[in-house]
Structure 1
Amino acid sequence: MMTDIRQSATYRGRRLFLRRAAILGAGLLVPSVVLGKSDPLFDDGPDDLTGPLSRFAKEIASKAKSMLKPGRYAQELYEEFQKGDDEARLKLYALAESGDAYARTTIGWMFDNGVGARKSSFKAASYFQLAAPEVQLARYNLGVLLLHGRGVAQNVAKAMEYFGEAPRIAPAMVQLARYALQEGKGNTALHFAEKAARMHDPMGMYLQARLLLEKGEERQGAMIMRRAATADVPDAITSMVVVYEKGLGVTKDAGLAAGWWIVDQVLIQGHTLEESEAAIERFNLSKADKNQAIRFARKWLLKRVAAQQFDYTKTLNFLDVRRI
């Protein structure tokens, strides 16, 4: 009965909307003219709202502010280009040449990746350098080129400086954590790994977990390692075998260790589930542990595909940053 009432209410609402639309179209409330660009219709701002509309002033102000967000226009042009609008690509180039740092960052990425332009990391570097004083992503991308000597002379120290100047880009913090680990600076590596992990970067979580385990903080390390494994970080999945095999921060469990081993064999090593399940015979498990391993692995692998690592040798665009 309630469904009928709702449907009838919706129907009446639609009829009322159509009636009002017809009145508007007939010119009974507003003149039926096509507004030109010179019309002052869109000159009003939040401070101009009075009467019943005044209650919406804050909402309108918030919307206006979001439209003025730095880089918004450059991002919209790139999205239009992705949809096949080549004119948007030309506008993006023009915007970059006019000095827009966000457009320069995007154009630099396009050159480095050969998207909408002939691939040239040299040109990419020049655009990133121009945008770097204003845009963190440009600094990160320039760091990537410097780290790998792509389009510029390799300079690891300078690359790390640029990564350090991009604290809101999670992969930059991962790069710094890796470098600190390579230099044998555990506490510094943990600092940057934690920053990346707080931004939900899977590799950041893995590095944080690994360092915590090596530091002896096994319970927290095991917990974060599982999060990284859930995000399909290959090294984290492999590490979970050791976590349960040795009981690092968890209760030692041969069945779960074997279960994670099956997951590793399928997702990381590329073996079939059947091959991997048959191969756990080498672990000399009890029947209960074997059944637990197979149940766990099958449940984990359900709806999962082969694990793919984030490519830290690639430069990023603004849509990439939004996704990671």
Structure 2
Amino acid sequence: MSEELAREIALWFIIPATLGIAVLLVAPFVKLFGTLLGVPQRRRRKQLAGLERVRVAARGRDLEIDWMRFKELSDGELRAALGKHGWRYVGEELGRKQWLLRFTYAPADAVGSDAHLRLREELAGATLGVDGTYLLDTERYADLELPEIKQAVNSAGWLVAGLEDGGSRPRLRLTRQGTTVLRGPGISFVQGDSPARLRKVPAVVARAAEIQRERGFDPLSSAEWNRVRERHRFWEKRFNRQVLLATFYTIVGGVLLAAFFATRKAEWDEGSTYVILGIPVVLLLLAGLASYKATRIRRRRQADIGDFLAAYQELDQLARRG
């Protein structure tokens, strides 16, 4: 086997292996600190499919959904999923083991339906999620133009924080004046029901009062949520920067290191070897430093807002258990 062929073979094996190592180094950060993927997302998809089966099997104009069967879906997601098929939310009943959401069938093209009235009703009952927004599915109001919907949104005291792909029409991400919003690439945050809806559960309200007495903060307070979202955004920006640096240094340093071993020549003097080898080594050391900084940033974020988020998740689970 010629020396040139051996080098090519080495490059084919070493470079993919190095890139794989780079992915392994960065993946734990993405998995641990990024948006939850994997099993929770599969559960959400499974529950959305189950909700669709319940909708298809519904008979008559009234439908009851036990929210406890769809714990991975937020109230807004559940109502939007049914709303785009003409099911309008009309009320709820909270029991010890059930949280019944009641809907009535009122498609937009039904005789006597009033899209403006239905839109006003939804906006009046809408609550901010933990990310500081409410998702409005405009397909439910297909007989209204988008400017009309936006005018109704503004009249109800809401602001349009952004647009999302919703199929034939965009969905509107709404918020309130003075609310800190967490939206955009690289943003990951706690998931769960809106604090306003949690306040409807007596056991949750009682536990929140205990937490406030014990720890000095109210996990259901709008002002506290604004502060926590702002601090999360502060730490997330710094964390993402270090992750990107660690990824860049690892990939570039790994590729250069692989190229060095694949192409080094016996006639290179010791000084040249050290210089050429030193560049990828320095890059890999910088990758380690960036990873260390990212870990420290996460720990500082946890010390800053971790107790608040843990208290909220406790309340969310308490509400879901009924």
Using the size of structure 1 for normalisation, the TM-score is 0.26
Kindly indicate whether structure 1 or structure 2 has the higher relative contact order, using CA contacts under 8 Å at least 6 residues apart. Answer: 2
Using the size of structure 2 for normalisation, the TM-score is 0.26
Q: Which has more strand, going by share of residues?
A: 2
Q: Which has more helix, going by share of residues?
A: 1
